[in-house]
């Protein structure tokens, strides 16, 4: 006879026991029906059948019908700050480009073969230092030719001057015609002009010979070599031999809106120099300190800005030509004002506001009137009192009345909890879930 295991719970019976007893036509049909019901009851033994008082429900469905408890709002972790009194610098931030005072492309002034290089790439040079040499032999020969021609014409001039004195005496004695004297005077003037021309050619040849030695025109740093030894260079070449850039001192050119020009000019009337600080591209790392050197003489009508130039000593050479920097021009300093971190000030449709932390660790929205923002601090003209705690970071999930927690303060107040050993024999220690299971 086929039997089935009773499932847990009262009032639940195997499904095959509820089949009414029918009068089978044959014993084989009865046997097949009971076998099928017995196999099916093995898969559905968890379903309860209706009893006399209530209908049966499935245990698999009742497991998911547990009542849910109301969720409580968790405190939002934030960073806090205290409203304080401090000095706020009034600055103008701008974008600038490092510009050297001198950038010189060293070129040859004569044509010839480059026979010698006298510098190393990246070397610091002084004005007048030797850089390169062009083959001087052709120009030395040209100088000798010019000097020889000068000596020849000087001899002719001296001879003509002697004849001129002789002709003057003969004219006085009325021994020769006056025309011969005039011709000799003209010849002397001709030789004198020729001597001047020869002297100019000698000076030119001597100058070309000096040009064979190429010297540094400024103090600075040599760049990469553009010509190698053995090349034939010409004065018409535009690429040059090398580029020298002056690094100390160096300048930074930046622009400010024309609306802020009057603020700068009024401060320059009180102080001849304004401090200027250069920061890196991120605006965090301080690179160098300098002073305002000059202001351009006109405003760019296209952009509505004006150019300013700041000078830096650049002793550590942290400023490099064509480097992009963030410039901060200090115009004034407000002393003894109420300040908060700039990150704490939020802006909405109704204006600026901050989140104030109450004594019960809830936050309240407080409208404020802001003043000058200097660096990472902002002046508060009204709305806050010195000593109040405000939220400086983590305001994204806050609203009026939200509970907050400051992780740093919570960590200081939390008691120290000793570590629990993995082999502890504490009876209250929680056992793994698999420890109480019966396989």
- Cα–chain center distance at 421: 50
pLDDT at 349 over 70: yes
Residues 222 and 115 in one domain: yes
Query: What would the pLDDT profile of 24-83 be if each residue is shown by its tens digit?
Result: 444 454 454 454 444 444 444 343 444 434 443 434 434 444 444 444 578 899 999 999
369, part of any domain: yes
Tokens describing residue 386: 């010195």
144 and 232 fall within a common domain = yes
| Element (DSSP H or E) covering residue 29 | helix 27-41
Check whether residue 186 and residue 128 sit in a common domain.
Answer: yes
Residue 156 in any domain: the answer is yes
The confidence score (pLDDT) of residue 47 equals 39
The residue whose two tokens read 């650049």 is: 314
Distance CA 219, CA 216 (A): 7
d(CA 343, CA 396): 12
Decide if 94 is inside a domain: no
Q: Taking residues 417-426, what's their average pLDDT?
A: 42
User: CATH no. for residue 304?
Assistant: 2.40.30.170
Task: Look at residue 86 and tell me if it is in a domain.
Answer: no
Instruction: Tell me whether residue 20 is in a domain.
Output: yes
User: Which run of H or E residues covers position 168?
Assistant: helix 137-172
Q: Does pLDDT of 245 surpass 90?
A: yes
CA angle centred on 418, ends 417 and 423, rounded to 5°: 135
- Residues 188, 182: Cα–Cα separation, whole Å: 10
pLDDT-derived band at 213, boundaries 50, 70, 90: very high
Pairwise CA distance, residues 127 & 252, whole Å? 23
pLDDT at 324: 95
Residue 334 has pLDDT above 80, yes or no: yes
Q: Are residues 141 and 227 in the same domain?
A: yes
* 3-state SS assignment for residue 371: strand
Assess if residue 200 is contained within a domain: yes
In this prediction, residue 432 has a pLDDT band, given cuts at 50, 70 and 90, of very low
Compute the distance between CA of residue 255 and CA of residue 303 in angstroms, rounded to an integer. Answer: 10
CA distance 201 to 206: 8
179 and 223, same structural domain?
yes
Whether residue 136 is found in the same domain as residue 152: yes
Rounded Cα distance between 160 and 181, Å, is: 11
pLDDT at site 100:
95
242: exposed, middle or buried (C-beta count within 10 Å: 0-12, 13-18, 19+)? Answer: buried
Boundary-marking domain end, from 333, 362, 380? 333
pLDDT at position 34:
52
Indicate the number of domains in the chain: 4
Q: Look at residues 190, 218, 243 and tell me which one is the last residue of a structural domain.
A: 243
pLDDT of residue 283: 85
In this prediction, residue 408 carries a pLDDT of 66
Query: How far is residue 168's CA from residue 177's CA, in Å, rounded to a whole number?
Result: 10
Query: SS3 of 263, please?
Result: helix
Residue 230 pLDDT? 93
CATH of the domain at 127: 2.40.50.100
The HSE-up count of residue 273 (CA atoms within 13 Å, CB side) is: 10
Six token digits for residue 174: 């009325």
Residue 196 lies inside a defined structural domain of this protein: yes
Per-residue pLDDT, averaged over 276-283, amounts to: 92
Beta-carbon contacts of residue 173 (< 8 Å; ≥ 6 apart): none
Please, are residues 334 and 88 in contact by the beta-carbon 8 Å criterion? yes
Instruction: Check whether residue 238 and residue 256 sit in a common domain.
Output: no
256 pLDDT above the threshold of 50: yes
Last residue of a domain, one of 215, 243, 271: 243
Residue 419, in any domain of the structure: no
Residue position matching structure tokens 């090398």 = 242
According to the model, what pLDDT value does residue 57 have?
A: 42
Please tell me the predicted confidence (pLDDT) of residue 74. Answer: 85
- Mean pLDDT calculated for residue range 293-301: 94
Cα distances from 213 to residues 135, 142, 203, 204, 243, in angstroms, run: 9, 16, 16, 15, 17
Domain housing 361 = 336-412
Q: Is the peptide bond before 181 cis (omega within 30 degrees of 0)?
A: no
Dist CA 110 CA 207 (whole Å)? 10
Residue 413 has pLDDT above 50, yes or no: no
Nearest by Cα to 248 from 285, 221, 275: 221
Q: Minimum mean pLDDT among 30-39, 144-153, 291-300, 302-311: which range?
A: 30-39
Q: C-alpha angle 245/313/252, rounded to 5°? A: 65
């Amino acid at each position: 006879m086929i039997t089935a295991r009773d499932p847990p719970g009262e009032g639940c019976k195997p499904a095959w026991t509820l089949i009414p007893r029918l009068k089978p036509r044959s014993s084989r049909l009865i046997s097949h029906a009971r076998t099928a019901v017995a196999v099916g009851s093995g898969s559905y033994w968890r379903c309860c059948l209706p009893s006399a008082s209530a209908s049966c429900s499935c245990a698999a469905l009742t497991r998911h019908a547990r009542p849910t408890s109301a969720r409580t709002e968790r405190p939002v972790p934030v960073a806090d700050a205290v409203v304080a009194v401090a000095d706020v610098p009034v600055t103008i931030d701008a974008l600038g480009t490092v510009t050297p005072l001198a950038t010189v492309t060293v070129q040859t002034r004569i044509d010839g073969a480059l026979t010698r290089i006298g510098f190393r790439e990246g070397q610091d040079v002084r004005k007048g230092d030797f850089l390169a040499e062009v083959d001087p032999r052709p120009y030395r020969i040209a100088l000798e030719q010019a000097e020889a021609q000068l000596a020849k014409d000087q001899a002719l001039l001296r001879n003509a001057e002697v004849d001129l004195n002789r002709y003057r005496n003969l004219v006085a004695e009325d021994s020769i015609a006056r025309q011969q004297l005039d011709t000799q005077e003209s010849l002397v003037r001709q030789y004198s002009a020729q001597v001047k021309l020869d002297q100019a050619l000698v000076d030119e040849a001597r100058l070309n010979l000096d040009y064979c030695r190429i010297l540094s025109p400024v103090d600075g740093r040599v760049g990469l070599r553009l010509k190698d030894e053995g090349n034939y260079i010409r004065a018409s070449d535009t690429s040059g031999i090398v580029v020298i850039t002056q690094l100390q001192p160096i300048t930074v050119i930046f622009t400010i809106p024309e609306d802020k020009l009057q603020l700068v000019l009024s401060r320059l009337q009180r102080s001849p120099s304004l401090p200027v600080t250069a920061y890196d591209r991120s605006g965090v790392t301080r690179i160098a300190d300098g002073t305002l050197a000059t202001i351009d003489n006109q405003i760019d009508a296209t952009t509505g800005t004006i150019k300013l130039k700041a000078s830096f000593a650049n002793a550590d050479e942290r400023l490099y030509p064509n480097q992009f920097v963030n410039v901060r021009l200090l115009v004034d300093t407000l002393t003894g004002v109420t300040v908060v971190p700039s990150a704490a000030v939020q802006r909405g449709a109704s204006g600026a506001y901050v989140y104030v932390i109450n004594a019960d660790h809830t936050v309240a929205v407080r409208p404020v009137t802001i003043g000058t923002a200097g660096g990472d601090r902002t002046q508060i003209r009204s709305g806050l009192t010195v000593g109040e705690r405000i939220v400086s970071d983590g305001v994204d999930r806050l609203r009026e009345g939200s509970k907050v927690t400051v992780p740093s303060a919570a960590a200081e107040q939390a008691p120290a909890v000793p570590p629990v050993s993995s082999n502890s024999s504490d009876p209250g220690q929680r056992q793994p879930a698999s420890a109480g299971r019966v396989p």
